[in-house]
Chain A
């Protein structure tokens, strides 16, 4: 059973446009969510996070939205740049789980010039 799902394996966007990456979860105990970016042959790097007490968190070009009732979060990248091309992982954690992260399968974003 996949508790965190990213249903789109890939996404292609034109440079300068908005990229929207989606993530759904099933476990209502999750109270903290993170997005990681991964380039080939490198480890995932932390991008942005959101606590369940918020519905939006913004950091520069990156904004994460959380809809708890729908158990859905999304990452918006505006404007998208070719350097944003990478695999993006959504991850979730429950505060009673010792910091354990459950990852989605990832979405490969390609930003075309």
Chain B
């Protein structure tokens, strides 16, 4: 079975450019989470969706960040414009809500903004 799929795995971009990270959750999972991992702040939740609806975006750092989930099998996290301090590893995770608390993580996207 395919796990959570994220693309790209690595992204290097210049400050001011738009960055789009993509995630395909595990088929059948109805909750999707976006996390960011940095040395300073560890693994922090940015936003999560239940049944494609954003539930809590309180972790989104600024208006430069936005996330969408147009359908049950796809989500994007967009940063526009990007800044060097956005450099981090971004993880997507999915879960079957109502079944267990376990979240299954993708391999992450390492973003470097120069």
Contacts and interface: CB of A to CB of B under 8 A. Distances in A.
Interface of chain B, main secondary structure: strand
A100 B35 CA distance: 11
A76 to B, nearest CB: 20
B42 A106 contact: yes
Contact of B106 (A43, A49, A89, A100): A43
Interface string B30-72: 0101000000001111001010000110000000000000000
B97 A99 contact: yes
A45 interface: yes
Interface residues of B, number: 23
Interface in A18-69: 32, 34, 36, 41-46, 49
Interface residues of A, number: 21
A74 interface: no
Contact of A103 (B43, B95, B107): B43
Contacts of A100: 33, 45, 48, 56
B55 to A, nearest CB: 5
B48 A98 contact: yes
Interface of B: 4, 31, 33, 42-45, 48, 50, 55-56, 91, 93, 95, 97, 101-108
Interface of A: 32, 34, 36, 41-46, 49, 89, 93, 98-106
3 closest cross-chain pairs (CB), A and B: A43-B105, A103-B43, A105-B42
Given A42-B108, A43-B91, A43-B106, 4 more contacts: A98-B56, A99-B50, A99-B101, A105-B42
